Amino acid sequence: MSLPALAPDSEENVVPSGIRLVDPNADIAKKVLLLEDDPAFKEIMTDFLKESGFEVVGVTNGVEGVHQVLASDFEVLLCDMMMPTLPGDMFFRAVERMRPHLCDRFIFMTGHRGNTKVNDFIVSVNGTILTKPFHVDDLLEMIAFINVRTMLLAA
């Protein structure tokens, strides 16, 4: 539910003094790195995440992802497992060497549910995984989980 916009010239929308309106969407945007090689899915995910209050940096492969990780820090890394140039597992290993504090912030995405290599990798790194297709509520819950885990590890 959103609050109606306040019109400064309308008496019915005057906020009594001492009361502060808080916009729940005004929180500091969390920065998400999205690695997804499917352009349509990447666009849908980017739009959804931005509408949900996240700052999104989207790339189409792991090499581009490495450049972004070297240039910035991210609260969450949404990583497709099957990408050209540098797949998700290899991207994770590169991040592990360069910026190991980001490794607990990964959410791996895959449409290859029965792929033994993918499953073994996820288990070996104790990874968090979303199987495509997934519901957007599941994505937001996973992001919240990653944020809580990051705060607990930092404490």
* 76 token code pair: 């969450």
Do residues 30 and 75 make contact, with C-beta atoms less than 8 angstroms apart? yes
Query: Does the pLDDT of residue 28 top 70, yes or no?
Result: no
Half-sphere exposure at residue 32, Cβ-oriented, CA atoms within 13 angstroms: 30
Q: Is pLDDT of 93 > 80?
A: yes
Average pLDDT, the chain: 85
pTM score of the predicted model? 0.80
Domains defined for the chain, CATH in brackets: 29-154 (3.40.50.2300)
**CA-CA-CA-CA torsion sign (96, 98, 104, 105):** negative
**pLDDT-derived band of residue 69, with 50, 70 and 90 as boundaries?**
very high
134: tokens are 């997934």
The average pLDDT across 85-113 equals 95
